[in-house]
Amino acid sequence: MNPTDFSKYISDFLSNYLTDERGASINTIKAYRDTFVLLLHYMEKERKIKLNKLKIKDINKDTIISFLNWLECNRNCSISTLNSRLAAIHSFYKFLQYRELGHIYDCQKILSIKQKRSPQLIMSYLTIEGIKSLLKQPDLNTKKGRRDLALLSLMYDTGARVQEIIDLTPSMINLNNPPTIKIIGKGNKSRLVPMINAQTMHLKNYMAAYQLDSPVNLLHPLFTNNRGEKLTRSGVNYILKKYLTKARSLEPSIIPENISCHSIRHSKAMHLLQSGVNLVYIRDILGHVSIQTTEIYARADSKFKRLALEKAYSKLTPEEEPLWHKNKNLITWLKKF
């Protein structure tokens, strides 16, 4: 049986276009692949179209809208997940409209589907005291404790995303003066982030304990589980939650409930901002493409806003002397007590 035009173009999109022309990361390609696996499942189960007969003309704007509604209602996907799925679909149809001119109108109709607006969530992050409390919890008398301290302190010190931490290898770390770390971010873009000396010591102790400073382990995952395998996102989340629970039991007032791995990244950004670091430098450390993304921290920090207002405040109203200061008889009477 001959392949359909849809199978041809979706294969070319995932196997060639994303890697060769877009330079997409492995994680992006996996996320896009998962979106189309779900779409194919929907077309087969709900639209009753067999996969080996699915053609480009079978999918239009109404089909995609129905698919997104199906994800929301039947699979309980959040708005952010729906928007991620739609972004993958948009990317495919941007690619397709230049390859299949006969379907350019349908492609543009699908590209006109707008993402859903999600409610603005309050950014969760830890204070300096909260970070200190968290990093006190690992037991440094054990190898696992040294690993966990190195992991958590590196997450905070670099402000890296969880996947960026997971993908680290010893070859990406320079412990000479000044110590730096190479982080591979979204779109396979790399950035060099400086590390402080305290962080360097944690890493040195951890890498020595696990023999990761040996030349034969340069390409070995920096952080591994008990089986020697690269940590997963859920594994990092488990480690963080364990120490958050311990810290919260000791100092509940400084460890909020809604702290996640990404909150550690938020914490670093907020602390840099509160220390007066320029947004441009914060953008480069976090690996944001646009300064507008970094500006969310300035908008979120109410303390920073208050200090800025106080600094810019000019006293306009006259200072009024209390009435009792003018009443000499009242002052004389009060002095008798």
The structural domains of the chain, with segments of one domain joined by +, span 5-111, 128-272
Contacts of residue 231, defined as CB under 8 A and 6 or more positions apart, other chains included, come to 151, 166, 221, 223, 224, 225
Q: Look up 297 and say whether it is catalytic.
A: yes
Given 161, 202, 271, 283, which residue is catalytic?
Answer: 161
Given 248, 266, 271, 288, which residue is catalytic?
Answer: 288
Q: Look up 202 and say whether it is catalytic.
A: no
- Looking at domain 128-272, what is its CATH homologous superfamily? Intergrase catalytic core (1.10.443.10)
Q: Span 5-111: which CATH code?
A: 1.10.150
Phi and psi at 224, nearest 5°, equal -130, 165
DSSP state of 222: S
C-alpha 280/C-alpha 295 separation (Å) is: 10
pTM of the model: 0.67
Q: Identify the residue whose tokens are 């999600």.
A: 118
Report the Cα 207 to chain-centroid distance in Å: 26
Instruction: Give how far Cα 188 sits from Cα of 156, 172, 290, Å.
Output: 21, 14, 16
C-alpha 230/C-alpha 221 separation (Å) is: 6
Q: Long-range contacts made by residues 240-249, C-beta under 8 angstroms, separation at least 24?
A: 240/152, 240/264, 243/134, 243/137, 243/138, 243/148, 243/152, 244/134, 246/137, 247/130, 247/133, 247/134, 247/136, 247/137
Q: Look up 210 and say whether it is catalytic.
A: no
pLDDT tens per residue across all 337 residues of the chain: 577 889 999 999 999 999 888 888 888 899 999 999 999 999 999 999 998 899 999 999 999 999 999 999 999 998 989 999 999 999 999 999 988 888 899 999 999 999 988 666 567 889 999 999 999 999 999 989 999 999 999 999 999 999 999 999 999 999 888 889 999 887 778 898 888 877 788 888 899 888 898 889 999 999 999 888 999 999 999 999 999 999 999 999 999 888 999 999 999 988 888 888 888 888 888 888 777 767 766 666 555 555 555 655 555 555 555 555 555 565 565 555 5
C-alpha 49/C-alpha 28 separation (Å) is: 27
Question: Do the domains 128-272 and 5-111 match in fold?
Answer: no
Q: Look up 262 and say whether it is catalytic.
A: yes
- Asked if 181 and 195 touch (Cβ cutoff 8 Å), the reply is yes
